[in-house]
Amino acid sequence: MAKKTIITAAVTGAWPKKENNPNVPMTPSEIADDVYACWKAGAAIAHLHMRDDNGNGTMDKNKFIETVNLIHERYPDCDIILNLTTSGDIYATDDTRLEHVQILKPEMASYDCGSMNWLNSSLFINSPAFLERCGKLFQELNIKPEIEAFDPGMIANAAYYLKKGVLKAPLHFQFCMGCANGIPGSVKNLVFMKETMEQLCPGSTWSTFGVGHSAMETMYAAVALGGHIRVGMEDNVMYSKGVLAESNAQFVERAARVIREYGNEVATPAEAREILGLTK
């Protein structure tokens, strides 16, 4: 039986603006339409960030509420899994980072399992206090954490929180490869992340993406290694060398081709829910 591979579309992120790629969706309306297009192209999960009116990353709950409502109102047939970021603004307070999930209670939300330097210029803080609070809140609200791991230490952190009861098995990881200040993107390093996860958090599922030049090798390796894939302008605005992406759906379509040509099948949202154990 062919393996089902989940595609996550990360359509906006916290950084690219129209100057980087005019096709990046930034308003609630643009994001809602883009999510639908990605769902039609084969994405089972949409990872969502919001932007303020100046185009900067924000954790404004009203933007999240507006976007989610638009998706449901405009596209009632769309059963894509919504995965909301909790890290859309490195200057947001812990309270602000969790307001929207308490209101919207999404099926999934991001859980960045450690702190790191950010672009060698600032700090991306995910304090122990925040991670404990976030993990317990997600359990209370039945939100599946997507454990973003930028390096192997964050996988070890997840193992600790599993033992402490802050996180509940089975875990789902998103290996963020090739980000500045994180583990460099390469097949060798992806294998290392996967093996570290298997050793410390057995029974976990995983997805991955590569930023920049590691994007394609990470995608192909993910399929070959039995993982799932994330694509989208949050991570890469270029479709190929020197070529801007026309849309997020273009990224999803390519991922779907890669999956099918390998011999796997693209997981529907319903199948993704089963794989990830979502019970909402």
Give the C-alpha distances (Å, rounded to integers) separating 250 from 49, 174, 183, 244, 280. 19, 21, 27, 11, 29
**What's the chain's Rg over C-alpha atoms?**
17
Distance in angstroms (rounded) separating the CA atoms of residues 47 and 184? 22
- Closer to other proteins by CB, 65 or 238: give it: 238
- Closer to other proteins by CB, 29 or 122: give it: 122
The least distance separating other proteins from the CB of residue 14, rounded to whole angstroms, comes to: 5
- Closer to other proteins by CB, 57 or 227: give it: 57
Asked whether the beta carbons of 126 and 115 are under 8 A apart, the reply is yes
Distance in angstroms (rounded) separating the CA atoms of residues 192 and 172? 16
Distance in angstroms (rounded) separating the CA atoms of residues 271 and 119? 36
Binding site for other proteins (CB under 8 A): 10, 13-17, 19-20, 49, 57, 85, 87-88, 90, 110, 112, 118-121, 124, 148, 176, 178-180, 184-185, 209, 211-214, 234-237, 241-242
The least distance separating other proteins from the CB of residue 78, rounded to whole angstroms, comes to: 24
The least distance separating other proteins from the CB of residue 98, rounded to whole angstroms, comes to: 15
- Closer to other proteins by CB, 34 or 112: give it: 112
- Closer to other proteins by CB, 19 or 73: give it: 19
- Closer to other proteins by CB, 117 or 142: give it: 117
Amino acid identity at 15: W
The least distance separating other proteins from the CB of residue 211, rounded to whole angstroms, comes to: 5
The helix, strand and coil proportions of the chain, stated in percent and rounded to the nearest 5, come to 40, 20, 40
Which stretches within the chain are classed as H helix?
28-41, 61-74, 94-104, 128-141, 152-164, 187-200, 215-225, 248-262, 269-276
The least distance separating other proteins from the CB of residue 250, rounded to whole angstroms, comes to: 17
The least distance separating other proteins from the CB of residue 263, rounded to whole angstroms, comes to: 29
